[in-house]
Amino acid sequence: MDAKGVKKEVLQEVEFILYEGGEIPEVRFWDSFFYLTSPPPDGLGLSLTEEDLNSLKKAVIDRYLLIIERDLTSDFIDKPFYRGISRAIVNVKRLNKFLENTGLKERYANIIKRKIKRMFKKFQEELKKQGRDINELASKEELKEFKKTLEEL
């Protein structure tokens, strides 16, 4: 298969990680990696470039940001899929571990930290507009842990 074909398959897996990657997207990353690189009949037997691998890893990061944003969106509070601040903490920790394990922390941590801080600020502003208080949704300990977890990024 030529390089153009490889890219197409990688992009399909990137989309799958991003939109259907589940709650632990690095699991889907490894599924994609093995599918793309394992020899037929189990996989496609492709050789991935560094760019291909980075695209897959970036999809994991973006998926985590979508999950964290879901848990920091006030319109979702009464929805069954809403998990709140405590779950956002778990996912920030998972994302941080993924960044460390893949060597991407130095490259992405500050960008991600700023994005999540903006999400949290927007979340608080949305709550105020709805006449709600953040302390109704999270304990002081959770809020402290959330801030600490962000600083560890």
The predicted structure's pLDDT at residue 5: 46
The predicted structure's pLDDT at residue 46: 94
How far apart CA 139 and CA 135 sit, in angstroms, is 6
Mean pLDDT of successive 10-residue stretches along the chain, which has 153 residues: 65 95 94 97 94 95 96 92 92 97 96 98 96 94 97 94
Judge whether 15 and 55 are in contact, CB under 8 Å.
Answer: no
> Model-level pTM?
0.91
| Residue 70 in tokens | 């879901």
- Would you call the peptide bond into 39 cis, given omega within 30 degrees of 0 as the criterion? no
The predicted structure's pLDDT at residue 29: 97
Task: Collect all residues with Cβ–Cβ distance below 8 Å to 63 and sequence separation of at least 6.
Answer: 17, 18, 21, 25, 28
The predicted structure's pLDDT at residue 7: 83
| Residue 65 in tokens | 């940001």
